[in-house]
């Protein structure tokens, strides 16, 4: 029998499969939206054009410029745009930045969101919002920002370059891993996170071989959706809070920061959740979770050092000091010195040392590695 727990799930309608972009206009109608504000990233302009055309009289206006971490001035301008065009709903097409801007509007207006993610950020499955002002990123949770409908079309994400794909997968894997050790983690979020990690690894290894592989892209969207769902229920902990601090204060790229920090937080925390650790290691086909994550990111070409992202050693130390001063809650007790050591390891891009009481190495992932399993989405 599992331990006692309380699980909170969040309702969303999910439309999944190749060609699902064609169903967006019908889904907008189902939501009762009569004037939709379309938000998209420039990289998917052609798909946004198709949605605009399909919406017909339901199209109210469009925003094509978004930025990471949702600067407050962009959020305010987007809210003004929504009011100007009389929008009663939002269609967000793109990665976490586009969906994040839609959430910024919904936070103050409660307009329903239909999300069409083209990366693996997982934001579409969470009621979490974030905004940045004066070098500080503020996050919160509000059901008003949870997308009502999510449309997953693997065809859209097949256009992502490998570098962006791999970084986005690292972000999604961070959702999976951290969802096993937060105070609100439970057996349901754990199973969801483990299955998400399995699909993400499998999809990433296949995409390394062929970035246009639709089965692989489907696996990645499926895994990212599960990762976001797990994060939505379990909340965030040390890892995400550190990444938000680094992104907001120093302007580091969101997904790549996750890849650099996650293996080192995992080395610190994974021993506190031995069941989840073992399950995640099995899903990732590694004998050491922290090292396995690092090796997977390295094989996929994701930067694994904060130094390569532009952070200085002095800034890494300052970040540790600031974070410690704000009060640190973690599944494993941690002080400023431990935080400094962790961030300096992430800064230099050190491969995590093997666990003292575990296997000495992990499975590595060369391109074309055998044993990645079938490429079907569900099993």
The per-residue pLDDT for range 2-18, each reduced to its tens digit, is 778 888 888 889 999 99
List the one residue out of 89, 150, 90 whose CA is nearest residue 115: 150
Is residue 95 within 8 A of residue 147, CB to CB? The reply is no
Q: What is the pLDDT of residues 91-101, one digit of tens each?
A: 999 998 999 99
List the one residue out of 335, 137, 331 whose CA is nearest residue 250: 137
Q: What is the pLDDT of residues 31-72, one digit of tens each?
A: 999 999 999 988 899 999 999 999 999 999 999 988 888 989
Q: What is the pLDDT of residue 312?
A: 96
13-157 to CATH, choices 2.60.40.10, 3.40.50.300, 3.40.50.1970, 3.40.1190.20: 3.40.50.1970
- Interval 16-22 mean pLDDT: 97
Q: How confident is the model at residue 356 (pLDDT cuts 50, 70, 90)?
A: low
Q: How far apart are CA 56 and CA 58, in angstroms?
A: 5
Counting Cβ atoms within 10 Å, is residue 153 exposed (0-12), middle (13-18) or buried (19+)? Answer: buried
Q: How confident is the model at residue 361 (pLDDT cuts 50, 70, 90)?
A: very low
Q: How confident is the model at residue 273 (pLDDT cuts 50, 70, 90)?
A: very high
Q: What is the pLDDT of residue 372?
A: 27
Helices (runs of H) and strands (runs of E) counted in the chain: 14, 8
Counting Cβ atoms within 10 Å, is residue 196 exposed (0-12), middle (13-18) or buried (19+)? Answer: buried
Higher pLDDT, 241 or 369: 241
Q: What is the pLDDT of residue 23?
A: 98
Residue ranges covered by each domain of the chain: 13-157, 162-348
Per-residue pLDDT at 83 exceeds 60: yes
HSE, side-chain direction, 13 A CA sphere, residue 331: 22
Per-residue pLDDT at 154 exceeds 80: yes
CA angle in degrees (0–180, nearest 5) for 131-134-257? 60
Per-residue pLDDT at 349 exceeds 50: yes
The rounded percent of the chain whose pLDDT value lies above 90 is: 78
What are the angstrom distances between the C-alpha of 104 and each of 75, 110, 113, 268? 6, 10, 11, 34
Q: What is the pLDDT of residue 134?
A: 82
Q: Would you state the structure tokens that stand for residue 250, as one six-digit string?
A: 């120093």
- Interval 243-253 mean pLDDT: 90
Collapsing DSSP to helix, strand or coil, 75 comes out as helix
Q: What is the pLDDT of residue 371?
A: 31
CATH 2.60.40.10 fits 162-348, yes or no: no
Q: How confident is the model at residue 363 (pLDDT cuts 50, 70, 90)?
A: very low
Arithmetic mean of pLDDT over the chain: 90
């Amino acid at each position: 029998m599992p331990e006692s727990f309380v699980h909170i799930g969040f309702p969303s309608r999910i439309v999944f499969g190749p060609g699902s972009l064609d169903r967006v206009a019908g889904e907008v109608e189902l939501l009762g939206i009569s004037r939709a504000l379309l938000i998209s990233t420039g990289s998917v302009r052609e798909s946004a054009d198709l949605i605009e055309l399909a919406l017909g009289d339901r199209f109210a206006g469009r925003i094509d410029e978004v930025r990471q971490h949702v600067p407050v001035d962009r959020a305010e301008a987007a809210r003004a745009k929504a009011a100007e065009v009389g929008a009663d709903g939002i269609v967000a097409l793109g990665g976490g930045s586009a969906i994040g801007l839609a959430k910024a509007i919904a936070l103050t207006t409660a307009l329903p969101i239909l999300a069409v993610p083209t990366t693996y950020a997982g934001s579409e499955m969470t009621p979490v919002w974030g905004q940045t002002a004066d070098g500080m990123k503020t996050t919160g949770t509000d059901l008003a920002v949870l997308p009502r409908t999510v449309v997953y079309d693997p065809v859209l994400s097949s256009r992502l370059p490998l570098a962006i794909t791999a970084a986005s997968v690292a972000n999604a894997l961070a959702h999976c891993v951290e969802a096993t050790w937060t105070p609100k983690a439970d057996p349901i979020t754990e199973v969801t996170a483990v299955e998400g990690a399995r699909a993400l690894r499998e999809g990433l290894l296949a995409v390394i071989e062929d970035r246009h592989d639709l089965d692989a892209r489907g696996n990645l969207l499926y895994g990212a959706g599960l990762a976001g769902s797990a994060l939505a229920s379990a909340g965030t902990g040390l890892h995400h809070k550190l990444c938000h601090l680094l992104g907001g204060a120093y302007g580091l790229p969101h997904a790549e920061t996750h890849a650099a920090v996650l293996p080192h937080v995992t080395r610190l925390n994974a021993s506190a959740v031995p069941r989840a650790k073992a399950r995640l290691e099995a899903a990732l086909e590694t004998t050491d979770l922290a090292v396995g994550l690092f090796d997977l990111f390295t094989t996929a070409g994701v930067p694994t050092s904060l130094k390569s992202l532009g952070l200085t050693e002095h800034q890494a130390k300052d970040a540790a000091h600031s974070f410690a001063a704000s009060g640190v809650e973690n599944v494993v007790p941690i002080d400023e010195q431990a935080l400094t050591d962790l961030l300096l390891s992430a800064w230099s891009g050190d491969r995590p040392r093997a666990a003292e009481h575990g296997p000495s190495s992990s499975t590595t992932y060369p391109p074309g590695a055998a044993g990645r399993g079938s490429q079907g989405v569900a099993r």
